[in-house]
């Protein structure tokens, strides 16, 4: 993050916070957390269990008055992916969840933030033939930010799981040094999944599970049909299947 200021001076709020993974990452870099925004009650319960029961939740970001937020420098937001994911109906901007990006942009603009980090599923890249991606990048550009998008896999950054996500790192244009780009972290060796697994039959994966049916639908959607064999996959050792 060489083009950013000293991380210890950066204050941030995590929107669409989930259970706080984004917060954990930024705090590990020394940044200062000042609040979160999450509407899912179960996620909020877990978030508070991790970080503290008195943590400030600003609630539904689409109802937030940006001027009511404290001053902060950086937004992090994993905005809803279901409307862009190959697992869902891919309704995109026609779905209410697809409009949340505009709520985030409103906050970014009103608070004149220095930076943002937005995250979504890889499927956003080709949604509506790439038009959705173009709209988002254009709106962020008009708001006054240089955006550096990249698909990143957790498998290459210290997590024994192949979860591909697109990240948008935005820097306010007046803060960018001429011809300077944001450089994403270098890839590192993937740790072994074996060290993270436990011996139990409670998590067996078979036709009795609803998740198994979801998995079959995933294998047979138009993007994956014919690519994989269920039998061959289930013979693999230390394999975790994630269809999100």
240 token code pair: 């975790």
Which of the residues 10, 13, 61, 81 is marked catalytic? 81
Rounded to the nearest 10 degrees, how much is the dihedral formed by the CA atoms of 47, 115, 155, 97? Answer: 60
230 membership: H or E segment, kind and range = helix 230-234
Q: Are the CB atoms for 121 and 166 separated by under 8 Å?
A: yes
Residue for token digits 């948008």?
Answer: 168
100-104 CB contacts, 8 Å cutoff, 24+ apart: 100/16, 100/61, 100/62, 101/136, 101/139, 102/139, 103/61, 103/62, 103/64, 104/15, 104/61, 104/75, 104/77, 104/79
81 flagged as catalytic = yes
Q: Are the CB atoms for 18 and 78 separated by under 8 Å?
A: yes
Query: Count of CB atoms within 10 A of residue 111's CB?
Result: 17
Q: Are the CB atoms for 83 and 91 separated by under 8 Å?
A: yes
Catalytic residue set: 81
């Amino acid at each position: 993050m060489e083009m950013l200021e000293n991380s210890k001076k950066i204050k941030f709020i995590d929107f669409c916070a989930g259970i706080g993974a984004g917060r954990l990452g930024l705090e590990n870099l020394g940044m200062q957390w000042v609040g979160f925004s999450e509407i899912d009650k179960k996620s909020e319960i877990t978030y508070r269990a991790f970080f503290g029961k008195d943590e400030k939740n600003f609630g539904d970001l689409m109802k937030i008055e940006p001027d009511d937020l404290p001053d902060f420098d950086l937004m992090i937001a994993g905005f809803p992916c279901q409307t862009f994911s190959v697992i869902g109906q891919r309704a995109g901007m026609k779905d209410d969840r697809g409009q949340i990006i505009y709520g985030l942009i409103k906050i970014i603009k009103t608070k004149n933030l220095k930076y943002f980090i937005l995250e979504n599923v890889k499927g956003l890249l080709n949604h509506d033939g790439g038009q959705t991606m173009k709209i988002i990048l254009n709106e962020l550009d008009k708001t006054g930010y240089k955006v550096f998008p990249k698909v990143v896999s957790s498998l290459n950054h210290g997590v024994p799981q192949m979860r591909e996500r697109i990240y948008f790192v935005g820097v306010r244009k007046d803060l960018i040094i001429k011809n300077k780009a944001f450089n994403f972290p270098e890839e590192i060796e993937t740790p072994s999944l074996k060290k993270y697994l436990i011996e139990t039959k409670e998590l067996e994966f078979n036709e009795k599970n609803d998740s198994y049916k979801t998995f079959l639908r995933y294998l047979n959607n138009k993007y994956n049909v014919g690519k994989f064999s269920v039998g061959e996959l289930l013979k693999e050792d230390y394999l975790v299947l994630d269809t999100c």
